């Protein structure tokens, strides 16, 4: 009896895990089938959105940085630029101009003229006069040649920061800017001016804008002092360069 009972107990214990696993699988299948219509998972594929009708797609909430990021902060609204506000303009203009010209011109001509009637003035009337020695003749030839070769290269850069004032706001919202600045160091003087029109969305929250975003931009930079006098042209040289007699 002891051996028989021991054998039945061992067989029952071996079959019990199978029944438990089968029962768990059945319960899980029932729960999945019941909630299959409401389960929504994250999907990054764009193919389904283009092939499945909008009515058949599950209602999913769009993923946003505000919901997923732990360090997300709402950005501050941009500052409204008003009349007579000050804006800092960053000027960094680079220019490179290269011009090359070659002129080679040659002109030839021949003059062959004969004066048949020599007019004379007689009683306020022009009359032909007979040429006793024959009609005077003139034969000449000329050659005109001009050759010129010119090269010009200009490379420059203007970089500075200037604070300008909003002097006008147009009806479409564009801002009219104007600013002037003068720096004096002993005998050296630097004068800078900037004017133009810019759209308000080109001005960032710190009221800083770039000169390249300004329309009708006018930049003027002048220098005075010993350094400028060392390389500037004199009035006579400027006059000769403008006249160019030869």
Residue-wise pLDDT tens digits, 5-64: 444 444 555 545 666 677 777 777 776 665 554 445 555 555 555 455 555 555 666 778
For residues 87 and 208, the answer to whether their CB atoms sit within 8 Å is: yes
Q: What is the pLDDT of residues 104-152, one digit of tens each?
A: 888 888 888 877 767 777 777 777 777 776 777 778 888 888 788 878 7
Name the pTM for this structure.
Answer: 0.48
Per-residue pLDDT at 21: 73
């Amino acid at each position: 009896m002891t051996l028989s009972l021991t054998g039945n107990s061992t067989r029952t214990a071996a079959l019990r895990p199978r029944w438990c696993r089968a029962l768990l699988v059945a319960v899980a299948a029932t729960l999945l089938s019941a909630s299959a219509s409401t389960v929504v998972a994250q999907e990054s594929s764009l193919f389904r959105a283009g092939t499945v009708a909008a009515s058949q797609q599950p209602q999913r909430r769009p993923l946003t940085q505000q919901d997923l990021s732990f360090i997300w902060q709402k950005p501050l609204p941009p500052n409204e630029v008003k009349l007579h506000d000050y804006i800092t303009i960053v000027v960094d203009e680079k220019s490179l101009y290269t011009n090359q010209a070659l002129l080679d011109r040659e002109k030839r001509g021949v003059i062959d003229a004969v004066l048949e009637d020599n007019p004379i003035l007689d009683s306020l009337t022009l009359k032909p006069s007979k040429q006793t020695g024959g009609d005077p003749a003139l034969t000449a030839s000329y050659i005109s040649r001009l050759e010129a070769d010119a090269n010009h290269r200009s490379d420059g850069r203007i970089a500075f920061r200037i604070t300008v004032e909003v002097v006008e706001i147009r009806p479409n919202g564009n801002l009219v800017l104007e600013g002037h600045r003068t720096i004096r160091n002993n005998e050296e003087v630097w004068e800078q001016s900037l004017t133009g029109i810019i759209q308000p969305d080109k001005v960032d929250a710190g009221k800083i804008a770039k000169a390249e975003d300004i329309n009708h931009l006018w930049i003027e930079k002048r220098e005075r002092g010993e350094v400028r006098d060392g390389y500037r042209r004199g009035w006579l040289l400027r006059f000769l360069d403008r006249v160019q007699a030869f």
